[in-house]
């Protein structure tokens, strides 16, 4: 098979060669002609326009200036060294600051010579400066100024030192385009092209690098974004169609004794309307004769466990087994306890299987599972191990979905000849656009109501100087028999400095809350699992009143008597994490409180995050703000998802285009579910090519 020209290793491009190819691979993950072709400019510059130092008045825009370097000074040594240059034009002077690649920059830039700089000014200590601007001798730059919109590629100091200055990037890109332009395949069917009114792909990929004009650039961007969104949708929906067409499925035709007896005798409280609605949706799915694949979104404390249990009882009523998978051992244990307690007095066989289940116990459990005596199995990842064989697995519930990928879900299906129904539960509310993309193959249910009597957690933002007041408040709460969490932002659990912060915090708290009146638990990632477990247990059993912890307590743990959550350096947490942490309190009927401690230095985003937390407890609203602040690439659960693979399309800004793309994918599949029509073959080939990296999405 002849390889496509776009698969040619990048070192064979004129002007690259092996050494630079290696650098491109390391610094920008560019390996082939195709990779480079998809390395889009991050902006376009009108290179005919120059600003002056006196015109700098905001730190939002990228500016191009022309002037002389009049001074150069290295400040500090070693890792903290920085290079400061003075840049002067006829209106004034500003500073250019460099932290990296000092040696190389010093060799290239000379005091007294004229340069063109390009960068984004920062406002610092009452003045503007430029950090790591691009800097080119003025005479060399002149030759590039005949293009109206010049592409601008992001590059690193390392790449620059290998000759990949922004200017050279443009040159190499021009070489590439002239070489591959005629070989860029069209990957959409004529019909989709026409109905969505899109620019041809070859045309778009040329114009994205070298726009003929602003209009062509717009069309080019639209086309490339469309492709990014459309093929994800096409793939997700195709899988869904295939599953619906092909997959044999079990039909839970009846509601029987297990469900009814639980409902009438064991249900500890009235179901909320939202719980009822979701149970009806699940009931309709499992009774339809098609495999259920449903995502259940519900804020922390909304009562998902009960929905899971009642769904599992539907399976039992239809002579099937059910399992519930949790992301951590503590959570699995907690589910096991809760569910065993709720089933009290009912003839249901439930067991727990985790990594620490003893071998003998495990063997016995496997046997009971295989002959069908064991009806509900609760556990961790241990459940997807190969030795675990079910007699007749009818329903799989996965809690806290974001930790399990599509691939892991698929492994669970294989546990049964006829694939089981799947219910995925998540407490991380996901904005609609993201859900459409991340879980495009799932139906979505939402529990949008908390159990009655739940008071929204009161949230406050305090600065350090108010600490004594906060401690006084904690004492008052503890005096009323309540318990308190104090959480520290440890990003890297093995970082000694951060651990020190935690220990210092622990010391301070121990001083204000001394023995014998107060007892304190501490949990962090450096503890052994057994130690962690025992500290958690002391808190659960109310032997300690304060739990000092890192975010290891973030997921799922349920201590209804804990009513206060103090989050230290709250500005360092992301919004969804703050929301998850706050969800640890407010689980009982008592008023709960969340106190966000912060330093005085807050970024605009940091301030916005804290304000949002104080303003609302609505997880969906918080998720929307988070999506806008951070972009989807950083949202919890999306890191592994390949959404970072969206280069141009944005789930925040391109909601409309995403809808068009999804609609187009539906139209294609409605007409040709197996994608067999000749005109759809280019799309099939693209889905199978290395360019479409589906692996990243699953
Ligand atoms: P999550 O959705 O976060 O998993 P849980 O299932 O742990 O929430 O439920 C949180 C708490 O609310 C539990 O203590 C549970 O017993 C209680 N709960 C669940 N449903 C109801 C209800 N309908 N009425 C009152 N309390 C409920
Ligand atoms: Mg839960």
Q: What is the CATH number of the domain that holds 407?
A: 3.40.50.300
Q: How confident is the model at residue 640 (pLDDT cuts 50, 70, 90)?
A: very low
Distance 399 CA to ligand 2 centre (A): 7
Q: How confident is the model at residue 448 (pLDDT cuts 50, 70, 90)?
A: confident
Q: What is the phi/psi pair of residue 47, to 5°?
A: -75, 0
d(CA 134, CA 130) in angstroms, rounded, equals 10
Shared domain for 468 and 565, answered yes or no, is: yes
Nearest to 163 by CA among 27, 41, 31: 27
Per-residue pLDDT, averaged over 116-145, amounts to 80
Among all chains, which residue has been given the structure tokens 């390996």?
A: 31
d(CA 366, CA 390) in angstroms, rounded, equals 8
Q: How confident is the model at residue 644 (pLDDT cuts 50, 70, 90)?
A: very low
Instruction: Using the predicted structure, report yes or no on whether residue 216 has a pLDDT greater than 50.
Output: yes
Lowest mean pLDDT, pick from 49-58, 257-266, 675-684: 49-58
What pLDDT digit, counting tens, does each position of 652-694 carry? Answer: 678 889 889 999 999 999 999 889 999 999 999 999 887 776 5
Q: How confident is the model at residue 641 (pLDDT cuts 50, 70, 90)?
A: very low
Residue 272 alpha carbon, nearest atom of ligand 1:
23
* Residue 569, SS3 per DSSP: coil
Report the domain count for the chain. Answer: 3
Judge whether 213 lies within some domain.
no
Judge whether 356 lies within some domain.
yes
Domain's final residue, options 386, 404, 426: 426
Distance 441 CA to ligand 1 centre (A): 28
Instruction: Using the predicted structure, report yes or no on whether residue 435 has a pLDDT greater than 90.
Output: no
Which residue is closest in CA terms to ligand 1's atom 14?
A: 587
d(CA 410, CA 408) in angstroms, rounded, equals 5
Nearest to 625 by CA among 610, 645, 639: 610
pLDDT value, residue 434: 72
Residue 528's domain spans which residues? 458-616
Q: How confident is the model at residue 24 (pLDDT cuts 50, 70, 90)?
A: very high
Question: Which of 278, 299, 301 to probe ligand 1 with, by most ligand atoms within 8 A of CB?
Answer: 301
pLDDT value, residue 637: 42
For the chain, what is the mean pLDDT? Answer: 86
Shared domain for 275 and 332, answered yes or no, is: yes
Q: How confident is the model at residue 140 (pLDDT cuts 50, 70, 90)?
A: low
Distance 447 CA to ligand 1 centre (A): 11
Judge whether 85 lies within some domain.
yes
Instruction: Using the predicted structure, report yes or no on whether residue 233 has a pLDDT greater than 70.
Output: yes
Query: CB-based contacts of 64: which residues, under 8 Å, 6+ apart?
Result: 45, 47, 49, 50, 51, 116, 117, 118
Q: Name which residue leads in pLDDT, 526 or 352.
A: 352
pTM over 0.75: no
Query: Whole-angstrom distance between the N-terminal and C-terminal Cα of the chain?
Result: 28
Per-residue pLDDT, averaged over 138-159, amounts to 72
Distance 11 CA to ligand 2 centre (A): 51
Shared domain for 384 and 523, answered yes or no, is: no
Which residue is closest in CA terms to ligand 1's atom 10?
A: 301
Half-sphere exposure of residue 283: CA atoms within 13 angstroms, side-chain side: 14
Query: Which pair of tokens denotes residue 160?
Result: 């620059």
pLDDT value, residue 267: 94
Q: Name which residue leads in pLDDT, 696 or 451.
A: 451
pLDDT value, residue 462: 96
Shared domain for 279 and 133, answered yes or no, is: no
pLDDT value, residue 13: 94
Q: Which stretches of 457-507 are assigned E, i.e. beta strand?
A: 458-463, 483-487
For 513-545, b/e burial (b = at least 16 CB within 10 A) is beeeebebbbbbbebeeeebbebbeebbeeebb
pLDDT value, residue 246: 67
Instruction: Using the predicted structure, report yes or no on whether residue 557 has a pLDDT greater than 70.
Output: no
Residue 447 alpha carbon, nearest atom of ligand 1:
2
Shared domain for 474 and 599, answered yes or no, is: yes
The CA-based angle 313-318-320, given to 5 degrees, is 75
Distance 383 CA to ligand 1 centre (A): 25
Question: Which of 299, 312, 397, 451 to probe ligand 1 with, by most ligand atoms within 8 A of CB?
Answer: 451
pLDDT value, residue 491: 61
pLDDT value, residue 695: 47
Shared domain for 506 and 571, answered yes or no, is: yes
Judge whether 598 lies within some domain.
yes
The DSSP call for residue 592 is -
What pLDDT digit, counting tens, does each position of 351-374 carry? Answer: 999 988 999 999 999 999 999 999
Shared domain for 580 and 464, answered yes or no, is: yes
What pLDDT digit, counting tens, does each position of 309-346 carry? Answer: 999 999 999 999 999 998 878 788 889 999 999 999 99
* Residue 437, SS3 per DSSP: helix
Cβ contact 350:322 at 8 Å? no
Q: What is the phi/psi pair of residue 377, to 5°?
A: -115, 130
* Percent residues over pLDDT 70 in the chain: 89
Q: Name which residue leads in pLDDT, 263 or 442.
A: 263
Which residue is closest in CA terms to ligand 1's atom 18?
A: 303
Lowest mean pLDDT, pick from 124-138, 211-225, 394-408, 649-663: 394-408
Residues with CB under 6 A from ligand 1: 269, 271-272, 275, 298, 300-306, 427, 451, 558, 587
Lowest mean pLDDT, pick from 179-183, 339-343, 624-628: 624-628
Cβ contact 438:641 at 8 Å? yes
Lowest mean pLDDT, pick from 227-231, 233-237, 327-331, 617-621: 327-331
Judge whether 31 lies within some domain.
no
Query: Which pair of tokens denotes residue 116?
Result: 């063109």
Nearest to 228 by CA among 646, 695, 657, 694: 646
Q: Which helix (H) or strand (E) holds 96?
A: strand 92-98
Query: Which pair of tokens denotes residue 361?
Result: 């116990």
pLDDT value, residue 1: 42
pLDDT value, residue 574: 86
Beta bridge partners of 378: 324, 352
d(CA 676, CA 684) in angstroms, rounded, equals 9
Q: How confident is the model at residue 476 (pLDDT cuts 50, 70, 90)?
A: very high
Instruction: Using the predicted structure, report yes or no on whether residue 167 has a pLDDT greater than 70.
Output: yes
Domain's final residue, options 111, 146, 181: 146
Question: Which of 272, 299, 300, 303 to probe ligand 1 with, by most ligand atoms within 8 A of CB?
Answer: 303
Question: Which of 270, 271, 272, 306 to probe ligand 1 with, by most ligand atoms within 8 A of CB?
Answer: 306
Instruction: Using the predicted structure, report yes or no on whether residue 649 has a pLDDT greater than 90.
Output: no
d(CA 150, CA 352) in angstroms, rounded, equals 62
Nearest to 259 by CA among 283, 225, 229, 224: 283
Query: Which pair of tokens denotes residue 222?
Result: 């639209």
Q: Which helix (H) or strand (E) holds 258?
A: helix 257-261
Q: Name which residue leads in pLDDT, 401 or 103.
A: 103
d(CA 59, CA 133) in angstroms, rounded, equals 13
Q: Which stretches of 99-222 are assigned E, i.e. beta strand?
A: 114-119, 121-124, 127-131, 134-137, 150-152
Judge whether 69 lies within some domain.
yes
Query: Which pair of tokens denotes residue 330?
Result: 């503590």
Shared domain for 404 and 508, answered yes or no, is: no
* Residue 588, SS3 per DSSP: coil
* Residue 640, SS3 per DSSP: helix
Judge whether 60 lies within some domain.
yes
Lowest mean pLDDT, pick from 83-97, 492-506, 579-593: 492-506
Q: What does the DSSP assignment read for 267-329?
A: --SPPPHHHHHHHHHHHHHHTTTS--EEEEEE-TTS-HHHHHHHHHHHHHHTT-EEEEE-SSH
Domain's final residue, options 411, 426, 441: 426
d(CA 123, CA 129) in angstroms, rounded, equals 7
Distance of CA 364 to the CA centre of its chain: 39
Which residue is closest in CA terms to ligand 1's atom 15?
A: 303
Per-residue pLDDT, averaged over 452-477, amounts to 92
Judge whether 413 lies within some domain.
yes
* Residue 116, SS3 per DSSP: strand
Shared domain for 363 and 512, answered yes or no, is: no
Per-residue pLDDT, averaged over 546-573, amounts to 85
The DSSP call for residue 359 is H
Shared domain for 70 and 113, answered yes or no, is: yes
Per-residue pLDDT, averaged over 470-476, amounts to 96
**CATH code for the domain of 107:** 2.40.50.140
Shared domain for 266 and 130, answered yes or no, is: no
Nearest ligand by distance to the CA of 326: 2
Shared domain for 408 and 481, answered yes or no, is: no
Lowest mean pLDDT, pick from 134-138, 174-178, 429-433, 648-652: 429-433
Other CB atoms closer than 10 Å to residue 87's CB: what's the count? Answer: 23
């Amino acid at each position: 098979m002849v390889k496509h020209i776009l698969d040619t290793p990048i070192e064979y491009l004129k002007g690259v060669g092996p050494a630079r190819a290696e650098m491109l691979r390391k610094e920008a993950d560019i390996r082939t002609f195709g990779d480079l072709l998809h390395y889009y400019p991050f902006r376009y510059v009108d290179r005919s326009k120059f600003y002056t130092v006196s015109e700098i008045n905001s730190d939002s825009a990228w500016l191009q200036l022309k002037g002389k370097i009049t001074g150069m000074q290295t400040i500090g040594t070693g890792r903290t060294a920085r290079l400061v240059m003075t840049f002067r034009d006829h209106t004034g002077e500003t500073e250019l600051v460099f932290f990296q690649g000092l040696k190389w920059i010093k060799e290239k830039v000379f005091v007294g010579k004229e340069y063109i700089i390009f960068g984004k000014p920062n406002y610092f200590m009452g003045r503007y400066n430029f950090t790591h601007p691009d800097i080119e001798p003025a005479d060399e730059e002149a030759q590039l100024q005949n293009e109206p919109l010049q592409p601008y590629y992001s590059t690193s100091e390392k790449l620059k030192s290998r000759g990949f200055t922004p200017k050279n990037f443009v040159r190499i890109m021009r070489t590439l385009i002239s070489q591959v332009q005629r070989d860029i395949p069209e990957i959409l069917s004529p019909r989709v092209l026409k109905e969505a009114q899109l620019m041809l792909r070859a045309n778009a990929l040329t114009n994205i690098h070298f726009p003929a004009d602003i209009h062509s650039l717009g069309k080019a961007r639209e086309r490339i974004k469309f492709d990014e969104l459309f093929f994800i949708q096409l793939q997700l929906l195709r899988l869904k169609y295939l599953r619906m067409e092909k997959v044999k499925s079990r039909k839970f035709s009846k509601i029987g004794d297990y469900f009814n007896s639980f409902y009438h005798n064991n249900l500890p409280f009235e179901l909320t309307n939202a719980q009822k609605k979701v149970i009806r949706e699940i009931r309709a799915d499992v009774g339809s004769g098609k495999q259920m694949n449903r995502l259940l979104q519900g804020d922390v404390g909304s009562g998902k466990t009960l929905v899971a249990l009642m769904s599992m009882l539907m399976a039992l009523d239809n002579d099937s087994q059910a399992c519930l998978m949790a992301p951590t051992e503590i959570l699995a244990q907690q589910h096991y306890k809760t569910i065993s307690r709720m089933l009290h007095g009912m003839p249901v066989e439930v067991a727990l299987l985790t990594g620490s289940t003893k071998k003998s116990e495990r063997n016995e459990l496997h046997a009971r599972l295989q002959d069908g005596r064991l009806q509900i199995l609760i556990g961790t990842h241990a459940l997807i191990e190969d030795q675990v064989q079910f007699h007749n697995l009818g329903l799989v519930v996965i809690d806290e979905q974001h930790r399990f990928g599509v691939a892991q879900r698929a492994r669970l299906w294989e546990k049964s000849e006829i694939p089981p129904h799947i219910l995925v539960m998540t407490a991380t509310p996901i904005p609609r656009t993201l859900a459409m993309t991340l879980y495009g193959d799932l139906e979505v249910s939402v529990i949008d109501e908390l159990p009655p009597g739940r008071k929204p957690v009161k949230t406050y933002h305090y600065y350090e100087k108010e600490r004594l007041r906060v401690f006084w408040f904690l004492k008052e709460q503890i005096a009323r028999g309540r318990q308190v969490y104090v959480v520290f932002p440890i990003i890297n659990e093995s970082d000694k400095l951060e651990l020190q912060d935690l220990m210092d915090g622990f010391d301070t708290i121990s001083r204000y809350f001394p023995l014998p009146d107060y007892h304190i638990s501490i949990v962090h990632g450096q503890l052994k699992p057994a130690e962690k477990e025992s500290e958690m247990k002391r808190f659960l059993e109310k032997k300690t009143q304060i739990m000092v912890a890192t975010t290891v307590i973030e997921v799922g743990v349920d201590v209804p008597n804990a009513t206060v959550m103090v989050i230290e350096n709250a500005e360092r947490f992301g919004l969804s994490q703050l929301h998850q942490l706050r969800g640890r309190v407010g689980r009982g009927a008592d008023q709960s409180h969340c106190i966000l401690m912060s330093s005085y230095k807050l970024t605009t985003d940091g301030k916005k995050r804290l304000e949002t937390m104080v303003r609302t407890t609505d997880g969906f609203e918080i998720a929307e703000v988070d999506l806008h602040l951070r972009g989807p690439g950083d949202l919890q659960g999306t890191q592994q998802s390949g959404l970072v693979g969206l280069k141009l399309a944005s789930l925040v800004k391109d909601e409309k285009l995403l809808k068009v793309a999804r609609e187009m994918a539906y139209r294609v599949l409605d007409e040709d579910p197996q994608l067999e029509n000749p005109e759809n073959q280019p799309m099939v080939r693209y889905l199978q090519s290395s360019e479409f990296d589906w692996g990243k999405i699953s």
